[in-house]
Amino acid sequence: MNQEAAGIYFDGKSAAPQAVTIVLNTLNGVLQFQTETATVERWLLGELSFENVGTTLQLQKQQPDGIAILKITDSTFAAAILKFRKENKQIGWYEKMLASGMKFHLVLGLVILGLIGLTYVYAIPWVGEKSVALIPESFDDTMSGTFISDNLLFSDVASDKSKVLNAFAKELQLNNKKKLKFIFVEEDIVNAFALPDGTIVVYSGIVDKMQNYDELVALLGHEAAHVNNRHSMKMLCRNLSGYLFISAILGDANGIMATIGDNVNSFQSLSFSREFEQEADREGFAIVVKNKVDPNGMLNLFKRLQDEGDSIIPEFLSSHPVTKQRIATTRQLVKSTPQQVEANSKLQQLFQQLKK
């Protein structure tokens, strides 16, 4: 069976179009036509590449010195070619997937988006957090070193009061595996933070607000829990892996998508820190109870932070968003945990020295 149609041929040497008459042999899938130089071309359908441009079917044949092209506008003829290719299984899986229709692609797209979302929310933080185990603790120290030299350079580190603070902490059981070091900074900031290497920085602003030493114990317990759990490293790894994931996914999209992704990532990191805060609260509470200190100090501490409200400067490594929920959770803990409180005159005395 033969079918015939008009076509336009480019020989791959010049851009001059040649009008040709193409004959398709539907038995062996050969296209035959005669060029202007009277050469007879025989093209095997299986060797060609196909592209639909508008309503034109374009066939390309790779030749040793270039690419020859045949354009066909006759739709019946194009359909006959497609029919032959289908019947002879010349259509590869890739082409089939492309031809599977808009609906299928849309479903596939939504599934992929869903999978990416799930991976981002569940798998990536987990991987990031677990990858902390691969990072040697010595790196925590190096990182903290840079942070201290960058951030405390212009701060007023009070060495006398730092000694008192260290003595205060020495009286306590902080469940720490790594040596903790305390720095007292004279600055009116109502905050404290923990660095991964075990350095805990306390500002005079927060101590001045405290009424009783049990509040300071709660603060140190909470910070120690951050260090014990390597929270800042975990957060860094989570953020970094989240960022890497997003940029890998959106890599070839464009600026708009990258910006959206970035914002999503930083939004996500807020809830990371909340989760870590809860853990530090729980463990900090356990430390308070273990040291036979009144856990109500923790509640008072939170109330003072809450009064301070938005004026708390967000810290890079571990800031302390005080929410009503944290207070409620702690109140619940105070109620449900059996506790034994003993007044500690030494802590009281050291605390008074810090307040001076």
Partner 1 sequence: MEENVPSKMHYQLDFKGKGETFFGIVIVNWLLTIVTLGLYYPWAKAKTLQFLFGQTTLNDDAFAFHGTGKEMFKGFLKALLVFAVLFGIMGALTYLGHQGIGILVLYLGIFAIMPLAIHGSYRYRMSRTTWRGIRFGYRGDQAELVKLFFKWVFFTIITLGIYSSWFQMNLRRYVIGNIRFGDAEMNYDGDGGDYLLMNIKGYFLTIFTFGIYSFWWQKEIFEYYVNNLSLHKDDKRIEFTSTASGADFIGLIVINMLLIVFTLGLGYSWVVTRTMKFIFDHIQLDGNIDLNTLHQTEENYKDATGEDVSDFLDMDFIV
Note the residues at the interface with partner 1 (CB under 8 A): 10-17, 51, 53-54, 56, 58, 60, 62, 65-69, 71, 94, 97-100, 102, 105-106, 108-110, 112-113, 115, 248, 250, 252-254, 256-257, 260
Burial grade of 187 (CB within 10 A; 0-12, 13-18, 19 or more): middle
Minimum CB separation from partner 1 for residue 7, in Å? 13
Smaller CB separation from Zn ion, 11 or 277: 277
CB of 233 to partner 1, least distance (A): 19
Q: Which does 256 bind (CB under 5 to 8 A by kind): partner 1, Zn ion, none?
A: partner 1
| Partner that binds at residue 69, options Zn ion, partner 1, none, CB closer than 5 to 8 Å by kind | partner 1
| H-helix or E-strand spanning residue 193 | strand 192-194
* CB of 226 vs Zn ion, minimal distance in Å: 5
Residue 318, contacted partner among Zn ion, partner 1, none, CB below 5-8 A by kind: Zn ion
What is the spatial distance between Cα 292 and Cα 344, in angstroms, rounded to a whole number? 9
Residue 34 contacts residue 41 (beta carbons within 8 Å): yes
Q: What is the distance between the alpha carbons of residues 31 and 115, in angstroms, rounded to a whole number?
A: 46
By CB under 5 A, name the one of 161, 234, 238, 320 that touches Zn ion: 320
Residue 324: enclosing H or E segment and its boundaries? helix 324-336
| E strand or H helix at 4 | strand 2-10
CB of 321 to Zn ion, least distance (A): 9
Cβ closest to partner 1, residue 98 vs residue 328? 98
Nearer to partner 1, 26 or 56 (CB): 56
First to last CA, the chain: 105
* Helix/strand/coil for 312: coil
Task: State the Cα–Cα distance between residues 316 and 231, nearest whole angstrom.
Answer: 12
With respect to partner 1, which residue has the nearer C-beta, 133 or 253? 253
Near Zn ion in 121-180, by CB under 5 A:
none
Token representation of residue 102: 């808009």
Query: Which residue, 241 or 273, has its beta carbon nearer to Zn ion?
Result: 273
Q: Which residue, 18 or 155, is less far from partner 1 as judged by CB?
A: 18
Count other Cβ atoms within 10 Å, centred on residue 218. 28
What is the torsional sign of CA 243, 309, 165, 290? Answer: negative
The least CB distance from residue 330 to Zn ion, in Å, is 13
Which entry of Zn ion, partner 1, none binds 58, CB below 5 to 8 A by partner kind? partner 1
Task: Supply the minimum distance, in Å, between the C-beta of residue 54 and partner 1.
Answer: 4
Do 183 and 200 form a contact (C-beta atoms < 8 A)? Answer: yes
Residue 318 as a binder of Zn ion (CB under 5 A): the answer is yes
- Min separation Cβ 262 and partner 1, Å: 14
The C-alpha atoms of residue 318 and residue 224 are separated, in whole angstroms, by 12
Q: How many Å apart are CA 345 and CA 273, to the nearest integer?
A: 35
- Partner whose footprint covers residue 66, from Zn ion, partner 1, none (CB < 5 to 8 Å by kind): partner 1
Q: Is 23 helix (H, G, I), strand (E, B) or coil?
A: strand
User: Rule CB under 5 A: which residues touch Zn ion?
Assistant: 277, 280, 318, 320
